[in-house]
Structure 1
Amino acid sequence: MQRIDEEAGPAGRSSGRTGHVQYLATGDDAMPRFMMIVKASEESEAGVLPTREALVEMGKYNDELTKAGVMLAGEGLRDSSKGARVSFTGGRTVVTDGPFPGPAEQLVAGFWVIRAEDRDEAVEWARKVPFEDGEIEVRQIFEESDFPA
């Protein structure tokens, strides 16, 4: 696993995203990938950021994923009022600006992409997320080899 600190950005240029870190896989690409999807909450949809303490704990968790060689990516998402949905019907597209209606828990607030031996291992990693409250959905990602040639 290779850590890229994007504070400096490519060629030393600042990306403007202090502390943002991207991880690139450098290990066993044969292991399946899983996305751990963080469901939104009323607080995250209201734009409330995690506490400093929660961010420190999340940093420790991300370091644990990295040291174990399983983390490929991980990001938090802004609330849906900053987003848009693109719907497709009969070949036509419709763009709907956020915020999106419905329960906050049906929205996504962030994600990790990890490599794990199987779903059980991915679930064990999800169980270690330092959340007091919330929900994480674990889904396996299709690989190129899953599709017919």
Structure 2
Amino acid sequence: MSLLSWILEGGWTVFERAFFVADRAFTGIQYRSNNTHTRIDNHIRFAERHHRIWGDILSKPETARIIVPTADAALITPLQIRAVNFVLLHTETVFRASKAGQYRAPDREKMEADIKHFLSLPIPGAAWATLKGSYSADFVAFVDKITGKLA
């Protein structure tokens, strides 16, 4: 069999397979690039949402009270529970995105320390005890592990 006849008979199959492999390689590279862009975009969105939530909370004396370490949790108001819930919903969104590989916390240990500190405060701790039943079991287990409580 001459080289020309081999190219005419079997070369097309080799050519097809080479392009198939190249296509898959370029698709993988593009997916990885898109995934990186998605993580960066999510990081920006999470930072914006974080600033907006805390800006709203701190702009009102009643909701700003949630971060007062000496606050009496027995005097918690529905607005304060809602403010804590906003923080927790945001935290759960970040948790879900991290689990799905769509976000990487810049410093996971610091983030976990922030969650632990927040929920150690009287009002957020009391609100979490009330709200945790409305969150998914895996998120509750994550938070309880961080705070040192059993789920």
Higher relative contact order (CA 8 A, sep 6+): 1
Do the two structures share a fold, i.e. TM-score over 0.5?
Answer: no
Q: Which has the larger radius of gyration?
A: 2
Q: Which structure has the highest strand share of the two? A: 1
